[in-house]
Amino acid sequence: MELIWKEIDAERLTAELTAQIAIKGDLPSPDGRAPQGEPCCAASVLIDAAEAAHGEVRIAGRIPVLVTCFDGDGQAFAYESAASFEKTVEAPGAAPGMTAVASAVIETMKAYASGSGVRLEANAEISVRVYSSVPMKVMGGVSGIDDLELKTESTSTGRAVRVGGGVARLREELAADGVTDVISCEGVISVREATSEQDGVAVGGVITVTAVYRGADGRTGTLCRQAPFREKISLDRPAAAPYCTAVMRSVYLRSPGEGLGILAMEAEAEFTLWDAQSFDVSLPTDAFSPTVGFDALTERTVFTRAMGRSSRQVSLREELTLPLGASEPGRVLCVNARPIVTDTVLEERTLTVRGVISTQVVYQSTAGRTAAFTEDLPFETETDAPAADAVFVSASCAAYGEGFADRTLAVTYTLVLDAEFEARRSVAVLTGLAERERTETAGGVLLCFASEGETAFDVAKRYSVPCAAVRRLNPEAAEPYGEGERLILIV
């Protein structure tokens, strides 16, 4: 008995895991100015590399941080810095040549003034998925067994393939009366549509920018503006149904001149066009012979198929009250909002996302000192979704508060949720045979009863008869059989 092998090309999930990582780093001020009091830090996690190795995944990344604070003279200033990290996580089944996909979210973060800079201490959760597209070796037949019966199962598989993209520089003039200088700004981008055009895709959406500014009276304040965009992104190859993802690389606001009442926005965004390509594969799942005894050896494998992405922008407004004992508020310095997704539910083509927005408000008290407080705002939102089996959601947020009313601050949030959908199917694939003695049974006509969902193959294997004979003797029985359906066999 000699096995005949074949290879199938299919995307498979090899490992899926989460890991915790503690990240610490000093963020020195580039001009040596020493922050005083509580700094306001906007931060996110960027994964620069994720490499699969034998039984593990090696990850390298950084936390870029926008620091906004006061100096010793009470002047607000801001600077950008980053804390880098490396992490190796155990991933059973991972091997070189496989694809590792990693994402991370900051769960807790603390920043405090330290010398001529800021000390950052953060805890992040890293999610890792490992996929293999290396051809899989499965059994295709057996030489020397003429009556081999082989059971197969069809499934769809496929991956998201990059089909185009590029970096776009977006410019817009935004209304901003009374603003003379922008101290710091950040932005989030949301893609709302992607329409195929000749040789490309027209991508439209909105950039939401929040900023800390200095007014004509020398006082600081915060503002929020939205800038719509529409860009044509080139396709590098044909795509059946392209969709787009976008990442903000940078955003800047500047005043072109005093008294003009406008700010010039210059943003750089990286757009990537994808196509969820899929195809069907036939998988051997079981085998038997009416005359030769052997056991089928199987390996359970999770086959995956990319199903595209969606982006949803949600506007929220919440009133935050100073906690008891906090200093009396004067003016807002900045508001930093960090979303954390805690739960995702896919049900009846609806995606429900739950989480909290960890909000830090840094303000100047009536005594002229910098103070801060934090509050976690829960959120829940629903959106349409495909009939997927898994979803991976990333979140970004922009927030601002105009000013205190007594001890209450009204904060407006712009929350952007990006979701990646995936179909999964677990199949026990036939990978070999183990010889054993065949059990002889008495011959004759037999009346048997099928179990729910059984096929002619299942019945034939149980009684060691050809599948064709089961179907020939029971022409009116439709597969799969119902519970207790009577079948006639000759064994």
Residue range 5-34, pLDDT digits in tens? 888 889 999 999 999 999 998 999 999 899
pLDDT tens readout for residues 63-97: 999 999 888 887 889 999 999 999 999 999 999 99
Q: Which long-range contacts (C-beta less than 8 Å, at least 24 apart) are formed by 71-75?
A: 71/33, 71/34, 71/35, 71/36, 72/34, 72/36, 74/368
What integer is the mean pLDDT of 369-390? 92
Tell whether 124 is covered by a domain. Answer: yes
Q: Does 399 have pLDDT greater than 90?
A: yes
pLDDT tens readout for residues 260-271: 889 999 999 999
Which of 155-169, 215-229, 273-287, 300-314 bottoms out in mean pLDDT, i.e. has the lowest? 215-229
Which helix (H) or strand (E) is 472 found in, with range? Answer: helix 467-473
Return the pLDDT at 360. Answer: 93
Q: Does 257 have pLDDT greater than 80?
A: no
Distance CA 491, CA 487 (A): 12
DSSP SS3 for 467: helix
Confidence of residue 442 (pLDDT cuts 50, 70, 90): low
- Mean pLDDT of all residues in the chain? 92
- Give 384-423 as a DSSP string: E--S-SEEEEEEEEEEEEEEEETTEEEEEEEEEEEEEEEE
Which helix (H) or strand (E) is 463 found in, with range? Answer: helix 456-463
- Closest-CA residue to 278 (of 167, 131, 161): 161
Distance CA 69, CA 79 (A): 9
- Closest-CA residue to 153 (of 428, 456, 481): 428
Same domain, yes or no: 124 and 212? no
Q: Which amino acid is at 325?
A: G
Distance CA 155, CA 159 (A): 14
Q: Look at residues 278, 300, 328 and tell me which one is the last residue of a structural domain.
A: 278
Q: Look at residues 119, 134, 149 and tell me which one is the last residue of a structural domain.
A: 134
Tell whether 148 is covered by a domain. Answer: no
For residue 469, what are the domain limits? 439-491
Tell whether 370 is covered by a domain. Answer: no
What integer is the mean pLDDT of 183-198? 92
Whether 278 contacts 158, CB under 8 Å = yes
Q: Look at residues 278, 310, 337 and tell me which one is the last residue of a structural domain.
A: 278
Distance CA 471, CA 491 (A): 14
What integer is the mean pLDDT of 109-129? 93
Residue 461's domain is classified under what CATH number? 3.10.350.10
Percent of the chain with pLDDT over 90: 71
Both tokens of residue 276? 């969820």
pLDDT tens readout for residues 307-323: 999 999 999 999 999 99
Same domain, yes or no: 97 and 178? no
- Closest-CA residue to 125 (of 335, 304, 341, 362): 341
Return the pLDDT at 251. Answer: 94
Return the pLDDT at 256. Answer: 83
Same domain, yes or no: 206 and 106? no
Both tokens of residue 4? 């005949």
Q: Considering only residues 270 and 348, tell me which one the structure prediction assigns the higher pLDDT.
A: 270
Calculated CA dihedral for residues 425, 427, 431, 437, nearest 10 degrees: 180
Return the pLDDT at 187. Answer: 93
Return the pLDDT at 164. Answer: 95
Return the pLDDT at 282. Answer: 93
Confidence of residue 2 (pLDDT cuts 50, 70, 90): confident
